Amino acid sequence: MSSRRKFVKKLGLTSLLPFISKSKGLSLGHSCIPKDPIMISTWNHGLTANKAGFQIIINGGSAIDAVEKAVVEIENDPENKTVGIGGYPDRDGNVTLDACIMKGDGSCGSVAFLQNIQNPISVAKLVMEETPHIMLVGEGAKKFAMEHGFKEVNLLTESTKKDYENWLKDTDYVPMINIENHDTVSTLALDNHGNLAGACTTSGAAWKMHGRVGDSPIIGAGLFVDEEVGAAAATGWGEAVISTSGSAMVVEAMRNGMTPSKACEYISKRIMKKYPNVDWLQVGFIALDKYGNTGAFSLKKGFNYAVTTKDKHELIDANYLM
Ligand code: ASP
């Protein structure tokens, strides 16, 4: 139990919670007492990510180091075809990676259209820490990475090359819903010190146009974190997330009093309204408020996310619209 929580309990202040909730402008029905640390991540691979990242938090480390470690674990997995090495290439056969990272105080870094570098999230973190900028793309991002010791790597594995060659036979370009049930990995964390952070990394939509950048490296779209409120991240069709400023909107909905789940549902409904007749469209959001309450929602069935605390490590099916 966190020391602030113990303190509130000790003083017998729990009966005041409804008033505390109101004064914070938060809706009742979710906790406003700071909770123990927590980490949430998108999709099945979120369990692996959380396992790696939460260890840092348990050892007293920071949320920002924890989310980096969590998603690096997935970037390094060549079997995962939607993130890092082994990710599906664009329609010209190039694997191009997008990632961003953000702290609760608004510090953030991002890389997009990065080729031949295995851990875009770590490059994004360096952009945040070492440069006056937020976003580096393409050759510039790669040059920066190599100057900081990253090695050039061939990201197209034999297995994804085979899938690409199969795709070339009919070059059908309809995005698949819940591709392999694991897409972009987005991780949000609250550490022992009450700090929030988030990370988001992907190889993007399979067979995209060369040069296409999705929502995942765009602060406010694929990820947004504000220590005054909470954090949110997205997965799914990036164009729909960018055009609605998805993750920033989830955080704003929480600021206005919605629970993390309601906020994710609200933005999903807005997206659905904008794209009423697109049957293949899938977008999912996860959210974590500064008290440790979590939620998720998606347009279509099939989105899940992993939740890890000191006491649990589980995969949860998100609620959905259709
Ligand atoms: N959001 C990613 C993109 O559009 C892909 C995904 O999560 O499926 O690049």
Residue 202, domain member (yes or no): yes
CA 27 to centroid of ligand 1, rounded, Å: 31
Structure tokens at 144: 């920066």
Active site residue ranges: 184
Residue 9, domain member (yes or no): no
Give me the pLDDT at residue 128, please: 98
Residue 8, domain member (yes or no): no
Residue 25, domain member (yes or no): no
Residue nearest to atom 8 of ligand 1 (CA): 236
Q: Is 202 in the pocket of ligand 1 (CB under 6 A)?
A: yes
Q: Identify the CATH number of the domain in which residue 115 sits.
A: 3.60.20.30
Q: Is 226 in the pocket of ligand 1 (CB under 6 A)?
A: no
Residue 100, domain member (yes or no): yes
CA 71 to centroid of ligand 1, rounded, Å: 15
* Three-state DSSP class for residue 294: strand
Q: Return the H-helix or E-strand segment holding 42.
A: strand 38-42
CA 251 to centroid of ligand 1, rounded, Å: 19
- Distance (Å, whole) CA 90 – CA 48: 26
Sign, CA dihedral 39-45-51-57, equals negative
Residue 190, domain member (yes or no): yes
- Distance (Å, whole) CA 220 – CA 14: 34
Which residues does residue 111 pair with via DSSP β-bridges, in sequence order?
A: 99, 136
At residue 285, what is the residue type? F
Mean pLDDT by 10 residues, the chain (322 residues): 38 34 42 84 97 97 98 97 95 97 98 98 98 98 98 97 92 60 85 97 94 97 98 96 97 98 97 88 96 97 96 97 90
Identify the domain containing residue 219 by its residue range.
35-320
Residue 2, domain member (yes or no): no
Q: Is 253 left (phi over 0), alpha (psi -120 to 50) or beta?
A: alpha
Residue 174, domain member (yes or no): yes
Question: Which atom of ligand 1 lies nearest, measured to the CA of 238?
Answer: 4
Give me the pLDDT at residue 322, please: 86
Give me the pLDDT at residue 34, please: 65
Q: Is 216 in the pocket of ligand 1 (CB under 6 A)?
A: yes
Please tell me the total count of domains within the chain.
1
Give me the pLDDT at residue 276, please: 84
* Three-state DSSP class for residue 217: coil
Give me the pLDDT at residue 298, please: 97
